[in-house]
Amino acid sequence: MEKEQKNIIEVYNLHKRFGGNIVYQGATLSVKKGEVLTLIGGSGCGKSVMLKHLIGLLCPDEGKILFDGQDITLLSEKEFLPIRKRIAMLFQGGALFDSLSTFENIAYPLQEHTNLSSEEIRRKVKDVLELVGLDGKQNVYPHDLSGGMKKRVGLARAIVLEPEVVLFDEPTTGLDPYNTRKINEAIINLNKEKKMTCLIVTHDMPSTFEVTDRIAMVHEGRIIIEDQKEKVKENDIVRSFITGEKVF
Ligand SMILES: Nc1ncnc2c1ncn2[C@@H]1O[C@H](COP(=O)(O)OP(=O)(O)O)[C@@H](O)[C@H]1O
Ligand SMILES: [Mg+2]
């Protein structure tokens, strides 16, 4: 399928350090509207730090971050709120409320941020649960769900307000093959059916090649390559990362 070429996210010349720990020293990255882009790189190279910049949890030392053309690094917390609704993030573990049922967890953002009727809420919750393969689990509480199921409920909740962009921090890490497949199917589904742009951070290369359009790699504080997955595979640093042949 032809993808739109417009960039929904643009990171220019990002510099970020924590004390003497230089994480980024001039990283540039673009996420195209409608695509699935996967950010790869060794442990501790700054993948989560990149995602945190995109949702305003971290501020660059230098550089620009544009969301739909607007520099978000200059926004106050209040000005950032409308952007915050357009980007969702799936946190590790799903971050569910233990005292609420699956239905109540997912309905919560709808009750907080919309005026939908209870019938409309019921239908939307069913819709997103179908998307993650868990329709019928509405009345189950988190302690009766497996880790993988919790993550899928977390994804259902992250997308129920229909964000334009979904960020995934290691969505399949620690999951069994069945839940990995369900998460991957859900990502493909929400990209193709719901037209959501997805940015994934992961080490899981088989999943990456299954779901992504493009891959970008973080290495020594920069994005060293950003291209279609087949092209990226040919890069020497990427190849040694994937095969684990070389430590760098
Ligand atoms: N809030 C923070 N304060 C200080 N150091 C941090 C903070 N967040 C991340 N770091 C450091 O930044 C580096 C990149 O971290 P991270 O983005 O979490 O790596 P990963 O690529 O594994 O997701 C690490 O050295 C980490 O210790
Ligand atoms: Mg991380």
Which residue pairs, CB below 8 angstroms and at least 24 apart, start in 185-189? 185/133, 186/131, 186/132, 186/133, 186/152, 186/155, 187/36, 187/211, 188/36, 189/131
Nearest in space to 89 (alpha carbons), one of 27, 154, 2: 154
Is residue 244 scored above 90 in pLDDT?
A: no
Is residue 100 scored above 90 in pLDDT?
A: yes
pLDDT at 93: 63
What confidence tens digit (pLDDT) does each residue in 115-164 have? 999 999 999 999 999 999 999 999 999 999 998 999 999 999 999 999 99
pLDDT at 203: 86
Question: Which amino acid is residue 3, in one-letter code?
Answer: K
Provide mean pLDDT across the span 43-51.
95
User: In this structure, which residue's CA is closest to atom 27 in ligand 1?
Assistant: 44
**Alpha-carbon distances of 40 from 37, 84, 134, rounded to whole Å:** 10, 24, 29
Do the domain assignments include residue 2?
no
Q: What is the CA radius of gyration of the chain?
A: 18
What confidence tens digit (pLDDT) does each residue in 200-221 have? 999 899 999 999 999 999 999 9
Measured in angstroms, how far is the CA atom of residue 27 from the centroid of ligand 2? Answer: 17
pLDDT at 195: 94
pLDDT bucket at 74, cuts 50 / 70 / 90 = confident
CATH of the domain at 152: 3.40.50.300
Mutational test site, ligand 1, from 48, 58, 89, 91, max ligand atoms within 8 Å of CB: 48
Is residue 12 scored above 80 in pLDDT?
A: yes
Mutational test site, ligand 1, from 49, 199, 201, 219, max ligand atoms within 8 Å of CB: 49
Do the domain assignments include residue 227?
yes
| Greatest mean pLDDT among 1-5, 85-89, 234-238 | 85-89
Do the domain assignments include residue 221?
yes
Do the domain assignments include residue 152?
yes
Nearest in space to 10 (alpha carbons), one of 54, 61, 52: 54
Provide mean pLDDT across the span 32-48.
95
Do the domain assignments include residue 15?
yes
Domain that holds residue 38: 7-243
Do the domain assignments include residue 149?
yes
Decide: 115 and 71 in contact? Cβ < 8 Å. Answer: no
Q: Where are the beta strands (DSSP E) in the chain?
A: 7-18, 21-32, 36-40, 62-67, 70-71, 87-90, 165-169, 197-201, 214-219, 222-228
pLDDT bucket at 240, cuts 50 / 70 / 90 = confident
User: How many structural domains is the chain composed of?
Assistant: 1
Report the chain's mean pLDDT, rounded to a whole number: 92
Is residue 4 scored above 70 in pLDDT?
A: no
pLDDT bucket at 94, cuts 50 / 70 / 90 = low
pTM, two decimals, is: 0.93
What confidence tens digit (pLDDT) does each residue in 163-183 have? 999 999 999 998 999 999 999
**Would the CB of 217 count as within 6 Å of ligand 1?**
no
**Alpha-carbon distances of 68 from 91, 131, 164, 165, 220, rounded to whole Å:** 23, 26, 10, 11, 27
Let me know if 113 is exposed, middle or buried by CB neighbors in 10 A (0-12, 13-18, 19+).
exposed
Do the domain assignments include residue 1?
no
Is residue 227 scored above 70 in pLDDT?
A: yes
pLDDT bucket at 245, cuts 50 / 70 / 90 = confident
Q: How far apart are CA 1 and CA 213, in angstroms?
A: 10
Is residue 1 scored above 60 in pLDDT?
A: no
**Alpha-carbon distances of 77 from 11, 73, 83, rounded to whole Å:** 19, 10, 10
pLDDT at 180: 94
Measured in angstroms, how far is the CA atom of residue 46 from the centroid of ligand 2? Answer: 7
Nearest in space to 63 (alpha carbons), one of 28, 17, 39, 30: 28
Closest ligand, as measured to the CA of 16: 1
User: In this structure, which residue's CA is closest to atom 7 in ligand 1?
Assistant: 18
If DSSP codes are grouped into helix, strand and coil, which group holds residue 129?
Answer: helix
